[in-house]
Amino acid sequence: MAEIAGRRKMENAMTVEIIEWMRASFEIDAERGLLIWRHPPKNHPRMIDREAGSFRPTHWGKRYCHIKKDRHAFKRGYLIFLWVYGRWPAPCLDHIDGNSENDSIANLREATTTENAWNHKKRARRINLPMGVRLITKSGRYEARIGFHGNQLTLGAYDTPEAAHAVYLAKRKELYREWA
């Protein structure tokens, strides 16, 4: 118990330190999701009045803007959230519109890992069918399926991939609500 309290105290001190660094270093536009260098690091004086951070792709292809402080890279969205609410999002941060480059505060919300996964608009596919649809090779029909809390739900077989996808989207909206 004392260990957890000590860790929280250290995290709170780090949070205050990061907010002070942001206050001293940036002009912060939370509405647009931008941090503009007011006082850049001494080895980068040319960055004054320029947007802070650089975009890095993840292994699945999404790009996030990262800003470094003392060799530690912070995602810009997390810094914007911290600036507005005075705390880190727990357990993770979700971009409502699915665009990882849009860090405006209106586009950011706290989410569980599961809710964040529900908000994925599309995934890489080896087959040319819409998300939630697979071909039943024996019958030539299309099956609609959706995953929810670790279970695969079969939504029926349909003559066209469009019909199966429509059923999938309706069920997705029903199960995932605002996260769909």
List strand residue ranges (DSSP E) for 79-179, in order: 92-95, 108-111, 133-135, 142-148, 151-158
Q: pLDDT value at position 104?
A: 97
pLDDT (tens digit, 9 = 90+) per residue, 90-106?
889 999 988 999 999 99
Contact 35, 67 (CB under 8 A): yes
Task: State yes or no: pLDDT of 3 exceeds 70.
Answer: no
Mean pLDDT of the chain: 88
Q: Is 13 exposed, middle or buried (0-12, 13-18, 19+ CB in 10 A)?
A: exposed
112-154 pLDDT, tens digit per residue, is: 888 887 776 666 667 788 888 999 989 999 999 988 888 899 9
Q: Which has the closest alpha carbon to 148: 177, 111, 109, 108?
A: 177
Asked if residue 14 has pLDDT above 80, the reply is yes
pLDDT tens, 32-72?
Answer: 999 999 999 888 899 999 999 999 998 878 899 999 998 89
Phi and psi at residue 140, to the nearest 5°: 80, 5
CATH dotted code for 2-118: 3.90.75
Does the pLDDT at position 176 exceed 60?
yes
Within a 10 A sphere around the Cβ of 22, how many other Cβ atoms? 19
In this prediction, residue 150 carries a pLDDT of 83
Residue 167: pLDDT above 90? yes
Domain coordinates in residue numbering, the chain: 2-118, 133-175
